[in-house]
C-alpha cells in the first residue's frame, strides 16, 4: 500500500460569504483565537504524517505564504526583548512541513484547483483539506481517512450526519454500508433539493483521493458556473473504482466560511485554553444574566 505523503489545500477562493473583511484578508487567514484557520489545517496534516503540502493560492492570497515564511527581523526583535518562547513559536511556522505554493490562474472551481496541484502530487494518493474549514477529532480526521485507505485501498471521503436543513447546503452522499463507520459511496448530490434527500450523510472537509481522480478532472465537462467541481469528478471516479465514506468519529466540524460556525469555533477553542477559560466563562455568565428567558435584554 502506497504511503500518503502529500496533501493539497485549495485556498484560492474569494470568500464572498465573509465580505467585507475578505476584501483584504483571505478567509483562510481569519483567526480562531490567535491562529488562522489554515494553521489548524496544516497542523492536522503534519500530525497525520504528511510530509509535503501543496497550497493552491491566487494573487490576493500572499498573506498565506507570508504567514508560513520566516520573518528574520521579527525573530531578532523578539530575541533581543528576551521573548524566546514567542520567537520559537513563530519560527516553528516555517518548519511545520515542506510547503509548495501553486497559483490557480482563474477561479474555475475546486476540482480545477486540485488539478493545478497535479505536477507536485504526481502519481500518488493524497489528501485534500480545505483551507477554511476543518474537523477537530480524536484521532485526527486525516488519520481516520488514512486508516480507511489502508484497509480498503480506495479513495476515502469524510462524512458526517446532518439534519435536512444542513444537507441542502452540503454534498449529500448516497451509500452502501460496509462496516461500522465505513460506507461505499454510490453518488454525491451537491446541494440537493428537499425532494432529493435520501440520506443524512454529508461529505465534509477532508478527502483522500487516489491519483485516478486526475484523468477524470482533465476530461470532465465543466458544471454549474462553467467550473470544474470535485464532487462531480468523484461521481465519475466512483463508477471506475471504489470510493468510501468515513464517518468521522469523535469529531466536531467547523466551517469558518459560515459566520455562526466561525464564532462557535472561537468560543470552543478559547474555552479549551487554560489561560482564557475562567475569564471567558465569567464574561459569558455575566452576558447571559443580562437576558431574560425571551432573549430580550433585561
Query: So where are the chain's domains?
Result: 6-257
CB 52 within 8 A of CB 100: yes
* Single pTM value for the model: 0.92
What's 6-257's CATH class?
A: alpha beta
Residue 260, exposed/middle/buried by CB under 10 A (0-12, 13-18, 19+)? Answer: exposed
What interhelical angle do 141-152 and 37-47 show, nearest 10? 40
CB 102 within 8 A of CB 118: no
Q: What is the pLDDT of residue 295?
A: 59
CA 231 centroid distance within chain:
15
Average pLDDT, the chain: 92
Q: What is the pLDDT of residue 165?
A: 87
d(CA 55, CA 20): 24
Which of 133, 188, 178 shows the shortest CA–CA distance to 154?
178
Q: What is the pLDDT of residue 258?
A: 86
Each residue's pLDDT, cut to its tens digit, for the chain (298 residues) gives 788 999 999 999 888 889 899 999 999 999 999 999 999 999 999 999 999 999 999 988 999 999 999 999 999 999 999 999 999 999 999 998 899 999 998 889 999 999 999 999 999 999 999 988 888 898 999 999 999 999 999 999 999 999 988 898 889 999 999 998 999 999 999 889 898 999 999 998 899 999 999 999 999 988 888 889 999 999 999 999 999 999 999 989 988 888 999 999 999 999 999 999 999 999 999 988 887 555 565 5
Q: What is the pLDDT of residue 124?
A: 95
Q: Is 137 helix (H, G, I), strand (E, B) or coil?
A: strand
Q: What is the pLDDT of residue 268?
A: 96
Beta bridge partners of 6: 52, 126
Q: What is the pLDDT of residue 298?
A: 53
In b/e form, how buried is each residue of 206-221, taking b as 16+ CB within 10 angstroms? bbbbbebbbebbeebe
Give the distance between the most distant pair of CA atoms in the chain: 64
Cis previous bond, 112, omega within 30: no
H or E element at residue 134 = strand 133-137
What interhelical angle do 72-80 and 84-93 show, nearest 10? 160
Q: What is the pLDDT of residue 15?
A: 85
Amino acid at each position: 500500500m502506497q504511503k500518503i505523503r502529500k496533501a493539497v489545500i485549495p485556498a484560492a477562493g474569494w470568500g464572498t460569504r465573509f465580505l467585507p473583511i475578505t476584501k483584504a484578508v483571505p478567509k483562510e487567514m481569519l483567526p480562531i483565537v490567535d491562529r488562522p484557520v489554515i494553521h489548524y489545517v496544516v497542523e492536522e496534516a503534519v500530525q497525520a504524517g504528511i510530509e509535503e503540502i501543496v497550497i493552491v493560492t491566487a494573487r490576493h492570497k500572499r498573506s498565506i505564504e507570508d504567514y508560513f515564511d520566516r520573518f528574520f527581523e521579527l525573530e531578532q526583535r523578539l530575541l533581543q526583548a528576551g521573548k524566546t518562547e514567542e520567537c520559537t513559536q513563530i519560527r516553528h511556522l516555517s518548519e511545520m512541513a515542506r510547503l509548495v505554493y501553486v497559483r490557480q490562474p482563474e477561479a474555475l472551481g475546486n476540482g480545477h484547483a486540485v488539478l493545478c496541484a497535479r505536477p507536485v502530487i504526481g502519481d500518488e494518493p493524497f489528501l485534500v483539506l480545505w483551507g477554511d474549514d476543518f474537523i477537530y477529532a480524536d484521532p485526527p480526521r486525516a488519520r481516520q481517512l488514512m486508516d480507511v485507505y489502508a484497509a480498503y485501498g480506495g479513495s476515502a471521503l469524510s462524512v458526517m450526519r446532518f439534519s435536512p436543513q444542513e444537507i441542502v447546503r452540503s454534498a449529500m452522499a448516497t451509500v452502501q454500508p460496509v462496516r461500522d463507520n465505513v460506507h461505499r459511496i454510490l453518488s454525491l448530490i451537491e446541494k440537493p433539493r428537499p425532494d432529493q434527500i435520501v440520506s443524512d450523510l454529508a461529505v465534509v472537509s477532508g478527502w483522500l483521493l487516489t491519483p485516478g481522480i486526475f484523468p477524470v478532472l482533465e476530461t470532465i465537462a465543466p458544471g454549474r458556473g462553467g467550473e470544474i467541481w470535485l464532487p462531480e469528478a468523484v461521481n465519475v471516479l466512483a463508477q471506475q473504482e471504489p470510493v468510501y465514506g468515513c464517518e468521522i468519529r469523535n469529531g466536531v466540524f467547523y466551517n469558518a466560511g459560515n459566520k455562526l460556525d466561525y464564532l462557535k469555533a472561537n468560543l470552543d477553542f478559547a474555552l479549551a485554553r487554560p489561560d482564557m477559560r475562567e475569564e471567558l466563562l465569567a464574561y459569558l455568565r455575566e452576558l447571559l444574566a443580562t437576558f431574560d428567558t425571551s432573549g430580550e435584554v433585561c
